[in-house]
Each structure stands twice: as C-alpha cells, then as structure tokens.
C-alpha cells in the first residue's frame, strides 16, 4: 500500500508523513509532492493506492489534481485536506469521486482513522490504459520479431504487475483475452495472410491458468510465423542496428534509419528505446566508441584519423566524448595498451 501526500507547505507535509509513519499497519511507501504537477509525475511513477492532497497549491491545485486522478487513475483513493473556509470549495471534488476529507488542523487520530477506512477497503482490480498499451506495443514487436526470450520476460513482468493490481480471476482472464485479440488484429494488419484463429477465454479457474493460456497462444502465433516465413525473416530492429553500425562515420539521422526499417520516426524512436534500453543517439555513440577503441589499438593509425573514421571531424569533440564514455582520453587509452 503506497501513500502520496501533496501539500505546498513543507511543515505540513512532514507532519503528515510523521503521522502516517506511526500508523500501526506498515505502508509500503510514503511519497510527497509540493503541488499537483509534481504529484502527477509521482503517480505515473509509483501509482499510489491513496493520495492525501491539499486544496490550495501553486501550479496545479488540489481540485485539478483530483480531476486528473478521476479521469486517468480512478482506482486511486483520494483524500482532500481543506481548511474550514475551503470546505465549500472542496465539495466540488465530489464530482471527481472524492468521498473522504480531512479538516485542518489534521491530527494523528484523523490520519489513522481515514487510513483504517481506506486500507481495509478492498480496491477494485485495475490496470491503467497506458500500461496496457505499452505492454501490447512491446509484445507485438517481440512476437513479430520472434524474440522468444524477451517475450518470456515481458510476460513475467505483465504477470507480476497484474497480480499486484488485485484483479480477480475473471477480470484477469478477460484482460488477457483482450490482449490476445488486440495482438491478433495488429499482426493481421502487418500481414493479412496470417490466419490467427485464437480460441476465446477458457474460463480460467486461477490467474496462473489464465496466464498459461496466454503463453500457449503466443507460442502458437510465433510457431505459425516461423512456418510461414520458412526462416526468411529479418528483424527490422536488427537491420536498423546493422545499418547504423555500417555508417558510423556518417551523420545519419534517426529519420533515415527509421525509413530503412519501415517505421515512422516517432514510432521507431520509441520502439528502439523500449527494445534496447538505449536511445538511437546513445546506441550510435556507444558503437562509435567501441570502434574507436578497436582502431586506437592499431599503432599506425593517427588519433585524428580514428576520430574521422567514427564520425567526428571535430577532434576536440571526439576526445571529450571518448573520455566521457571510457573515462580516459584517446592518448591515455593508447598508453594503457602500451602504444606510444
């Protein structure tokens, strides 16, 4: 159970944190934000179960924060903290699903009573749409590119996340069937000759059984792709990497590589980061420095020529970048290799 406390007054924030820390049942995490904008950033990162928020704050007040929470994360339970004069204003939060209020000055007993009420209240199972779409995006690329090991890791992450969301078995079974249906539609859009006749939900008796069904169906899809391609398939991301590696001395753009891979620039940039944990620029710099180290190991190559060979006409910039990546200047690196 994670709690997010939102208040622009540092003393009040600290006081609420102290009261929450003294709550008899341990909380998994207590986070703080000084305004609604900061709070939304933390909500996206931690997805707290409960939010305590003040009404009057700079940048984004509590009412606007409640609206965002209601529209995007309606499983989060929100508590509005208001002064006596703000109570009528706080009532507007009712339209955003807020049912819990704390009136200033807040006491430890107030905090503990409201936590008793919310911690013991069963929360409905919920998976944010953003998480669902992100998983579908990654799963689609894993299946299409036949990356079985990466898909297995992705399924495990999805299982862990879904289990922690407190969904019941029926909800889990329905969600995973939706995932399969969406993946089937996307894969069919990529290749209309694919015949993916996936069975509907099997009425799983447990969530583990529901995930077992998901794994079986994804394996079936990948086997069909293997048979259809007869081994003549090239992973577009691997092809993009190869293209980058072959053009390290040139200033190729992300748009150019995306076109070669058959993607739009924005989609390629997002996909590349998701599948490699590196941006296009980070990958190219890494590869340039790897090649530079190989060339610096050849004694008769001048350092300035090595710089040009890996795409740096500006020699000082190359030296600076090489040291940033390796921790040594090109000359120091050569000295370490025993090259003068």
Report pLDDT digits (tens) over 282-331: 999 999 999 999 999 998 889 999 999 999 988 899 999 999 999 999 99
Predicted local confidence at residue 201, as pLDDT: 52
Give the global pTM.
0.41
Mean pLDDT, residues 177-204: 74
Q: Is the pLDDT of residue 122 over 60?
A: no
Q: Is the pLDDT of residue 96 over 90?
A: no
Classify residue 328 by burial, with Cβ atoms within 10 Å: 0-12, 13-18, 19+: middle
Predicted local confidence at residue 295, as pLDDT: 92
Tell me the CATH architecture of domain 236-336. Orthogonal Bundle (1.10)
In tens, the pLDDT along 127-156 reads 776 778 888 888 888 888 888 888 899 999
Mean pLDDT, residues 66-86: 76
Q: Which of 62-66, 325-329, 334-338 has the least mean pLDDT?
A: 62-66
In the block, tokens 């600076």 appear at 320
Q: Are strands 77-82 and 100-103 parallel, antiparallel or unpaired?
A: parallel
Classify residue 136 by burial, with Cβ atoms within 10 Å: 0-12, 13-18, 19+: middle
CATH top-level class for 2-119? alpha beta
CA–centroid distance for 5 within its chain: 23
Q: Is the pLDDT of residue 93 over 60?
A: yes
Predicted local confidence at residue 287, as pLDDT: 93
Predicted local confidence at residue 286, as pLDDT: 93
């Amino acid at each position: 159970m994670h709690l997010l406390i939102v208040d622009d007054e540092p003393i009040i924030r600290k006081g609420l944190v102290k009261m929450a820390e003294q709550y008899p049942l341990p909380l998994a995490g207590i986070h703080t934000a000084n305004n609604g904008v900061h709070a939304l950033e933390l909500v996206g990162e931690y997805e707290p179960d409960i939010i305590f928020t003040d009404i009057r704050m700079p940048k984004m007040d509590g009412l606007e924060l409640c609206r965002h929470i209601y529209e995007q994360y309606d499983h989060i339970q929100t508590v509005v903290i208001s002064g006596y004069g703000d109570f009528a204003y706080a009532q507007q939060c009712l339209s955003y699903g807020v049912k819990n209020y704390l009136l200033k000055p807040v006491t430890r007993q107030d905090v503990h009573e409201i936590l008793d009420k919310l911690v013991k209240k069963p929360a409905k199972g919920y998976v944010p749409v953003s998480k669902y779409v992100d998983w579908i995006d990654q799963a689609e690329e894993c299946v299409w590119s036949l990356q079985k090991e990466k898909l297995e890791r992705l399924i495990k992450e999805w299982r862990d996340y879904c289990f922690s969301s407190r969904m019941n078995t029926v909800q889990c079974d329905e969600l995973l069937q939706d995932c399969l249906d969406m993946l089937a539609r996307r894969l069919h859009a990529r290749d209309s000759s694919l015949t993916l006749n996936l069975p509907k939900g099997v009425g799983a008796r447990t969530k583990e059984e529901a995930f077992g069904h998901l794994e079986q169906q994804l394996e079936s899809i990948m086997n069909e792709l293997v048979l259809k391609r007869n081994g003549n398939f090239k992973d577009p991301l691997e092809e993009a990497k190869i293209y980058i590696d072959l053009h390290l001395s040139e200033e190729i753009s992300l748009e150019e590589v995306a076109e070669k891979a058959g993607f739009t620039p924005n989609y390629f940039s997002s996909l590349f980061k998701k599948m490699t944990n590196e941006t296009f620029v980070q990958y190219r710099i890494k590869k340039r420095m790897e090649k530079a180290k190989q060339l610096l190991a050849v004694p008769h190559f001048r350092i300035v020529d090595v710089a040009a060979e890996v795409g740096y006409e500006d020699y000082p910039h190359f030296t600076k970048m090489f040291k940033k990546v390796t921790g040594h200047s090109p000359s120091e690196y050569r000295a370490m290799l025993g090259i003068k």
